[in-house]
């Protein structure tokens, strides 16, 4: 029982870190974006650049994660990142200067990387060392809870508070989330052994597998970031759906909350790559539904599918990285996130540019996201063939009997 309580506390630390770094510091920007455009004079193109700068910070955090092997240093940077997440949120409400907002979004990106890469790596390392399942579904429920929570918070506060006051209220919430995110994660074990005394050993994939995997994850990053950043603005501008953008973003969060646990179960039965392929195909449907079909029902269904798949793909990919490198999971997580993060820098800027040329219509961005996801799905099918070939190459060769 004590061991299970400790497991729940460790996973709880991860959930609260994601609620703080992604829900408060990162995803609050999406439902607050229309309000900032109305009340603070934030332009369409500038909104896209702020999102791109946020992912620039995330990418820098991924570079750092990919270059560090020391678990103690990772733990220290994780804890600094959680404090920075609160500071970045406060900074958003202190000014109407786009430069200040850009600084805030950049350091919020660093904080997101601290939670997603350092925090996730530390938690996965702890699970493996203590002989628990190396699955992150419960941990990544924090992403969906963060999206749903910030959507509900912004929808509720918009009746009484302006955009600036909402950022300060979210900062206060962040201070509360900071406590369990820091206190419940124990200091890392650097012994190199599991609790039962087995040695942790890395089992890296082939170079071709890694290149294809990173390319497919780049495509997933494009699909994710356009929907996550611009969904509220896109839905609000669709015919007959003005004012329903926050509801759609809430649906994304509700879809994401149970998603990682569900995808863990699917992966157990089908294998990780088959689960990734299924998630990618369903995400294409979710992205396209609002603009291909239209109407509130199709939009909400698309949002649920999007939320239920993008976070599942992230969970599956980062879990696979941890299994390949149990002694240093954040290194491969960081490399994969470089691909994901590069997409998250380019795609919002391109989407903002497309929208500025179409009188603020972001719908072209969704078509771009769906098209890139089709390419990513094709790469995953190729990756499956490469995985089978690599597995065959590792089979021992038996000599015929004389």
DSSP per-residue codes, 63-126:
HHHHH---HHHHHHHHHHHHHHHHHHHHHHTS---HHHHHHHHHHHHHHHHIIIIIIHHHHHHH
Task: Name the residue with higher pLDDT: 32 or 349.
Answer: 32
Looking at per-residue pLDDT, the higher value among 42 and 398 belongs to 42
Mean pLDDT lowest for which of 174-178, 294-298, 335-339, 359-363? 359-363
Give the pLDDT score at 379. 96
Mean pLDDT of 157-184: 94
Residue 289, pLDDT score:
87
CB neighbourhood size of 60 (10 A): 16
Cα–Cα distances (Å) from 308 to 98, 300, 375, 379, in that order, read 33, 12, 20, 21
pLDDT confidence of residue 99: 93
Between residues 114 and 55, which one has the greater pLDDT?
114
Average pLDDT for 145-152 = 84
Mean pLDDT of the chain: 85
The predicted model gives 266-292 an average pLDDT of 91
pLDDT digits (tens, 9 = 90+) for 280-289: 999 999 988 8
Q: First vs last Cα of the chain: how many Å apart? A: 57
Sequence-separated (6 or more) residues with CB below 8 Å from residue 9: 184
CB atoms within 10 A of CB 358: 13
Residue 396 above 80 pLDDT? no
pLDDT band at 192 (very low <50, low <70, confident <90, very high): low
Question: How far is the C-alpha of 143 from the C-alpha of 244, rounded, in Å?
Answer: 21
- CATH 3.30.2010.10 is the classification of domain 2-185+203-392: no
Using CB atoms within 10 Å of the CB of residue 58, give its burial: 0 to 12 exposed, 13 to 18 middle, 19+ buried: buried
What is the share, in percent, of the chain residues with pLDDT greater than 70?
93
**C-beta separation of 214 from 338 below 8 A:** yes
Q: What angle do CA 366, 141, 118 make, to 5 degrees?
A: 95
| Residue, of 236 and 262, whose pLDDT is higher | 262
pLDDT at 312 over 50: yes
In whole angstroms, what is the distance from residue 285 CA to residue 312 CA? Answer: 15
- In the numeric block, which tokens belong to residue 364? 């072209």
Rounded mean pLDDT, 270-275: 92
CA–CA gap between residue 212 and residue 219 (Å, rounded): 11
Q: What are the φ and ψ backbone dihedral angles of 206, each rounded to 5 degrees? A: -70, 155
% the chain with pLDDT above 90: 35
Instruction: Enumerate the H helices of 188-292 as residue ranges.
Output: 207-236, 245-256, 259-270, 272-292
- The overall longest dimension of the chain from CA atoms, in Å, is 87
Predicted local confidence at residue 398, as pLDDT: 47
Average pLDDT over residues 42-67: 85
Q: How far apart are CA 37 and CA 93, in angstroms?
A: 14
pLDDT of residue 43: 86
At 238-254, the pLDDT tens digits run: 777 777 887 887 888 88
- Residue-wise pLDDT tens digits, 72-86: 999 999 999 999 999
Residue 361 pLDDT greater than 80, yes or no: no
230 against 13, higher pLDDT: 13
Q: If we measure between CA atoms, which residue out of 179, 178, 158, 175 comes closest to residue 82?
A: 178
Return the pLDDT at 237.
76
> Which residues are within 8 A (CB) of 364 and not within 5 positions of it... i.e. 6 or more apart?
351, 354, 355, 358
Domain boundaries, the chain: 2-185+203-392
Residue 122 CA to residue 135 CA, distance in Å, equals 13
Q: Which pLDDT value is given to residue 402?
A: 39
Chain segment 106-132, per-residue pLDDT in tens = 999 999 999 988 998 899 888 888 877
- Residue 397, pLDDT > 80, answer no
- Min mean pLDDT across 27-31, 65-69, 144-148, 326-330 is at 326-330
pLDDT of residue 375: 95
Place of tokens 């002989």: 131
Give the per-residue pLDDT at 194: 64
Which carries the bigger pLDDT value, residue 168 or residue 149?
168
């Amino acid at each position: 029982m004590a061991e299970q309580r400790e497991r729940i506390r460790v996973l709880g630390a991860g959930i609260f870190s994601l609620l703080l770094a992604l829900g408060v510091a990162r995803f609050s920007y999406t439902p607050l974006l229309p309000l900032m455009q109305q009340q603070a004079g934030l332009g369409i193109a500038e909104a896209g650049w702020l999102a791109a700068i946020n992912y620039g910070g995330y990418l820098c955090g991924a570079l750092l994660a990919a270059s560090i092997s020391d678990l103690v240093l990772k733990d220290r940077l994780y804890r600094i990142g959680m404090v920075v997440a609160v500071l970045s949120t406060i900074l958003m409400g202190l000014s109407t200067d786009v430069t200040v907002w850009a600084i805030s979004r950049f350091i919020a990106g660093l904080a997101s990387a601290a939670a997603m890469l350092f925090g996730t790596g530390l938690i996965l390392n702890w699970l493996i060392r203590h002989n628990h399942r190396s699955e992150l579904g419960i941990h990544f429920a924090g992403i969906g809870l963060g999206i749903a929570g910030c959507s509900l918070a912004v929808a509720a506060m918009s009746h009484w508070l302006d955009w600036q006051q909402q950022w300060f209220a979210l900062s206060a919430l962040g201070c509360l989330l900071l406590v369990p995110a820091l206190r419940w994660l124990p200091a890392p074990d650097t012994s190199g052994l599991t609790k039962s005394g087995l040695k942790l050993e890395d089992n890296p994939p082939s170079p071709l597998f890694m290149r294809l995997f990173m390319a497919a994850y780049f495509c997933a990053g494009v699909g994710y970031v356009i929907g996550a950043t611009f969904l509220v603005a896109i839905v609000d501008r669709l015919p007959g759906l003005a004012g329903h953008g926050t509801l759609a973003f809430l649906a994304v969060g509700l879809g994401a909350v149970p998603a990682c646990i569900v995808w863990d179960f699917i992966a157990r039965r089908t294998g990780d790559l088959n689960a990734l392929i299924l998630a990618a195909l369903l995400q294409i449907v979710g992205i396209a539904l609002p603009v291909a079909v239209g109407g509130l029902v199709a939009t909400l269904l698309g949002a649920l599918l999007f939320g239920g798949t993008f976070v599942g793909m992230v969970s599956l990919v980062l879990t696979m990285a941890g299994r390949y490198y149990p002694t240093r999971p954040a290194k491969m997580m960081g490399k994969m996130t470089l691909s994901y993060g590069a997409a998250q820098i380019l795609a919002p800027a391109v989407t903002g540019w497309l929208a500025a040329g179409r009188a603020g219509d972001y719908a072209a961005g969704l078509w771009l996201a769906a098209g890139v996801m089709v390419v990513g799905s094709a790469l995953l099918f190729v990756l499956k063939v490469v995985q089978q070939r690599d597995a065959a190459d590792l089979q021992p060769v038996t000599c015929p009997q004389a």
